[in-house]
Amino acid sequence: MEQILQTTYLWLKAGHVIFVIFWMAGLFMLPRYFVYHQEADPGSAEEARWVDREAKLRKIILTPSMIMVWVFGVALAFAGNWWVAPWLHTKLLFVVALTGYHGWLVSYAKKLAKGERTLTGKKLRLLNEVPGLAAAVIVVLVVVKPF
């Protein structure tokens, strides 16, 4: 029985890591798409292509990956019985923040699709650093478990 639990745990962990990679890739790509989108002329065919690309990225990669990260992550927390671990609480705080960032990206994509360009390219480039910083903190929390 213990062997089955260990094998299941490893598959859950593999699934979690795989979908974290996909989700992070999408979180890095979408703000960069926004920069290119905003550089396109309003109403142009190029702008329409960026709207389509952004929608596909969100619907095919970004949102499904985020959902799977949560599914595998919660399953891992149960399998490892980590709910009382302080590092997990802090990690969850950062993952919730990334989920909120994801939601904000989706809402901004919808604004851009309507022609609303409320941020500069420079601000979007700075926002592109958010997932990298969050990922660095999350990795330290999971690997080092500082508390």
pLDDT (tens digit, 9 = 90+) per residue, 33-66? 999 999 999 999 999 999 999 999 999 999 999 9
The pLDDT score that the predictor gives to residue 1 is 64
Let me know the angle formed at the C-alpha of 16 by 129 and 71, rounded to the nearest 5 degrees: 105
Report residues of the chain scoring pLDDT below 70: 1
Question: Which tokens go with 39?
Answer: 């550089």
Residue 133 is predicted with a pLDDT of: 97
How many separate domains does the chain show? Answer: 1
Q: For residue 78, give its domain range.
A: 2-144
Against a cut of 0.85, is the pTM above it?
A: yes
Q: Is 89 labeled as ligand-binding? A: no
User: What's residue 102's pLDDT?
Assistant: 98
Q: CA dist 28 to 32, 46, 53, Å?
A: 7, 21, 14
Residue 91 labeled ligand binder:
yes
Given this model, what pLDDT does residue 139 score? Answer: 97
